[in-house]
C-alpha cells in the first residue's frame, strides 16, 4: 500500500496487472441547472436515492466556468444571452451506467421528473444518443484547458465537506476582492461534488505570468480555510512540489518525522521523485 500511494517517492512499480471490466451496455446522461447550492445538495441526495447503484458520475460546474467554455467554443450550454448569472448559477452532469437500457432510462426519467417538480432543478437536457452524451462530457472536460488559456492559472485541488463546498469558493472571491486590487482576477470552480473534491481555479485574464503578490494573498490563506472547514489541502492530485511545504499544517511533527524516516530507509540517496510530497528541510525545521 505504501508503494501504491506514494507516486514514486518510495519506490518504482515495475510490473502491474490491471483488471479491465467490459464497457457498460447502458449509459444515460443529463446536464442540469440549479438555482442554489442547497438545490445541488438536494439533487445529489435525490440521485443517490432514485438512481442508486447505476449512478456513476455527479459532476459540478459553476456558472463562471460554463460561461467561459461557452464563449470559447461558441456554443449554447443551457445559458441564453439574456440569462443572469444569479438566476441559476450551478450546473450538474449526471451519468448512469448499467446493463438494462430500458430500466436505466426509466430510473433517470423518474429522477429528473422528481427534481424538476420540486424545483431544485430548473433546466436540463437528457442525452438522446451517444453523440449528445459526448457533447455533455466535452463541456466538463473542457473546463481545465479553457481556464488554462484564460490567463495564469492558480490551481487548487482540495477536498471540502459537501455542506461547505461552495462556501469555500465564495470566501475566496471575497478574500481576493478585499486583499488584491492590482489587476482583475477570475475565480471559477468545478469538481466531483459527490465526494467533496473541488477544483478551485483563479486566473488573471490575459496575463500569463505568475504574480507573486497574488500567490501570497492566496496562500496559505486558502489552505488555512480548508483546514478550518475540516477538509483536505490535497485531494485527487496529491501534494507534489507545490503543497509539500504545507504538510506540517495537517500532520504533526511526529508524523512528518516518521514519514521522513520511512523515506530515508527506502531511498537513502533521495533519488526517487526528489523534492516531492515531504516538506523541504528548511520548512520542516
pLDDT, one tens digit per residue, over 252-281 is 888 888 888 888 888 888 888 887 777 876
Residue 72 confidence (pLDDT) above 80: yes
* Whole-number Å distance between alpha carbons of 211 and 62: 25
Instruction: Give the 3-state secondary structure of residue 165.
Output: helix
List the grid coordinates of 37. Answer: 447550492
Q: For the segment 42-60, what is each residue's pLDDT rounded down to a tens digit?
A: 999 999 999 999 999 999 9
* Whole-number Å distance between alpha carbons of 246 and 257: 14
- What pLDDT, on the 0 to 100 scale, is given for residue 1? 61
What mean pLDDT do residues 20-24 have? 89
* Whole-number Å distance between alpha carbons of 160 and 198: 7
Residue 113 confidence (pLDDT) above 50: yes
- What pLDDT, on the 0 to 100 scale, is given for residue 84? 62
- What pLDDT, on the 0 to 100 scale, is given for residue 85? 61
Contacts of 200 (CB under 8 A, 6+ apart): 155, 156, 158, 168, 169, 172, 187, 189, 222
Greatest mean pLDDT among 86-90, 98-102, 269-273, 276-280 lies in 98-102
List the grid coordinates of 167. Answer: 462556501
Residue 183's region, left for phi above 0, alpha for psi from -120 to 50, else beta, is beta
- What pLDDT, on the 0 to 100 scale, is given for residue 88? 82
What mean pLDDT do residues 109-125 have? 95
* Whole-number Å distance between alpha carbons of 111 and 127: 14
Give me the residues paired with residue 190 across strands. 61, 199
What mean pLDDT do residues 158-178 have? 96
Q: For the segment 205-256, what is each residue's pLDDT rounded down to a tens digit?
A: 999 999 999 999 999 999 999 999 999 888 776 666 667 777 777 778 888 8
Cα distances from 141 to residues 31, 187, 193, in angstroms, run 14, 18, 15
Sort 18 into a burial class: Cβ within 10 Å, 0-12 / 13-18 / 19+.
exposed
- What pLDDT, on the 0 to 100 scale, is given for residue 285? 46
- What pLDDT, on the 0 to 100 scale, is given for residue 2? 64
| Of residues 172 and 258, more confidently modeled | 172
Which ranges of the chain would DSSP assign to H, the alpha helix?
A: 2-5, 37-51, 63-73, 101-117, 130-148, 165-179, 212-218, 221-228, 253-266, 281-284
Question: Which residue do the cell numbers 471540502 mark?
Answer: 160
Residue 136 confidence (pLDDT) above 90: yes
Residue 78 confidence (pLDDT) above 90: no
Amino acid at each position: 500500500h505504501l508503494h501504491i500511494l506514494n507516486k514514486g517517492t518510495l519506490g518504482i512499480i515495475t510490473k502491474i496487472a490491471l483488471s479491465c471490466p467490459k464497457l457498460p451496455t447502458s449509459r444515460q446522461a443529463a446536464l442540469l441547472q440549479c438555482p442554489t447550492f442547497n438545490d445541488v445538495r438536494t439533487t445529489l441526495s435525490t440521485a443517490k436515492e432514485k438512481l442508486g447503484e447505476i449512478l456513476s458520475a455527479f459532476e459540478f460546474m459553476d456558472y463562471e466556468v460554463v460561461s467561459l467554455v461557452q464563449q470559447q467554443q461558441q456554443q449554447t450550454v443551457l445559458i441564453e444571452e439574456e440569462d443572469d448569472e444569479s438566476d441559476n448559477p450551478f450546473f450538474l452532469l449526471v451519468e448512469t451506467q448499467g446493463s438494462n437500457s430500458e430500466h436505466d432510462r426509466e430510473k433517470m426519467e423518474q429522477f429528473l421528473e422528481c427534481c424538476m417538480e420540486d424545483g431544485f432543478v430548473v433546466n436540463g437536457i437528457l442525452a438522446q444518443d451517444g453523440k449528445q452524451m459526448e457533447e455533455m462530457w466535452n463541456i466538463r472536460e473542457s473546463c481545465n484547458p479553457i481556464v488554462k488559456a484564460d490567463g495564469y492559472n492558480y490551481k487548487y485541488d482540495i477536498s471540502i465537506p459537501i455542506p461547505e463546498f461552495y462556501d469555500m469558493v465564495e470566501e475566496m472571491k471575497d478574500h481576493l476582492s478585499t486583499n488584491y486590487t492590482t489587476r482583475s482576477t477570475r475565480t471559477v470552480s468545478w469538481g466531483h461534488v459527490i465526494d467533496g473534491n473541488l477544483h478551485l481555479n483563479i486566473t488573471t485574464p490575459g496575463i500569463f505570468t505568475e504574480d507573486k503578490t497574488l500567490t501570497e494573498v492566496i496562500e496559505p490563506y486558502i489552505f488555512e480555510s480548508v483546514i478550518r472547514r475540516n477538509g483536505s489541502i490535497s485531494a485527487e492530485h496529491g501534494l507534489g512540489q507545490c503543497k509539500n511545504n504545507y504538510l506540517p499544517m495537517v500532520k504533526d511533527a511526529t508524523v512528518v518525522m516518521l514519514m521522513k524516516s520511512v523515506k530515508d530507509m527506502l531511498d537513502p540517496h533521495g533519488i526517487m521523485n526528489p523534492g516531492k510530497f515531504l516538506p523541504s528541510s528548511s520548512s520542516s525545521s
